[in-house]
Chains A and B, each alone.
Chain A
Amino acid sequence: ETGVTQTPRHLVMGMTNKKSLKCEQHLGHNAMYWYKQSAKKPLELMFVYNFKEQTENNSVPSRFSPECPNSSHLFLHLHTLQPEDSALYLCASSHAGASYEQYFGPGTRLTVT
């Protein structure tokens, strides 16, 4: 595997379900990011991790819970989501001192029913 991978690619879940999104980077980076991409809106930064430590939480509701066990893996745990949370969730990575060059995974298309 090369680059940034994300699983699953597609996810449909009910509002009472609990699910997790997974991201793995094979680029030797030490910063990882979660973004939300909704139609007709700019990418919204959700969380930033540098060297496994969370350095940014962009006022994200607590129904989204990130986890970064090491510099290569990032998870987004989801519970009691709302239909408006349906979106493409993108993971990205970069060198910690060069956050301006981020490399993205293919995303998880999430639909909340």
Chain B
Amino acid sequence: TQLLEQSPQFLSIQEGENLTVYCNSSSVFSSLQWYRQEPGEGPVLLVTVVTGGEVKKLKRLTFQFGDARKDSSLHITAAQPGDTGLYLCAGARNQGGKLIFGQGTELSVKP
């Protein structure tokens, strides 16, 4: 059973376009994390959201946690080739609990 579903699984866009990646679940999470992983490297933590409805911005990246804490989205404005990578969402049921990962969204931004 896949507890965290990410969509789309693959996304190929041109530089300058906007995009949104979704992370959905039927379960409630106490927190949700977004990571970016480049080829040959480990995932790098981008953001943690903990409050329902919370919105966090990291330069051109906007992260939102759903009101019911079951889903999240990542929006990238004016994508650049440097944004290329695998984006992973991960949720924790409680502070000491293990992380549950989505299957990832592979983003390719072409110049």
Contacts and interface: CB of A to CB of B under 8 A. Distances in A.
Given A106-B41, A109-B40, A100 B31 contact: yes
A56 B96 contact: no
A8 to B, nearest CB: 13
Interface in B56-111: 88, 90, 92, 95-104
B11 interface: no
Contacts, number: 61
Given A99-B95, A99-B97, A100-B95, A41 B45 contact: no
B92 A99 contact: yes
A107 B99 contact: no
Contacts of A109: 40
A103 B88 contact: no
B44 A104 contact: yes
A106 B42 contact: yes
A56 B103 CA distance: 22
**Number of chain A interface residues as a range:** 20 to 34
A97 B45 contact: no
B52 interface: no
Q: By DSSP majority rule, is chain A's interface helix, strand, loop, or mixed?
A: loop
A97 B96 contact: yes
Given A42-B2, A42-B102, A100 B30 contact: yes
Given A97-B95, A98-B95, A103 B45 contact: yes
Interface string B29-64: 011010100001111110010000000000000000
Interface in A77-111: 90, 92, 96-107, 109
A99 B42 contact: no
B48 A105 contact: no
A104 to B, nearest CB: 4
Interface of A: 4, 6, 40-43, 45, 48, 56, 90, 92, 96-107, 109
Interface of B: 2, 4, 30-31, 33, 35, 40-45, 48, 88, 90, 92, 95-104
What are the 3 closest A-B residue pairs judged by CB atoms, nearest first? A104-B42, A100-B92, A43-B101
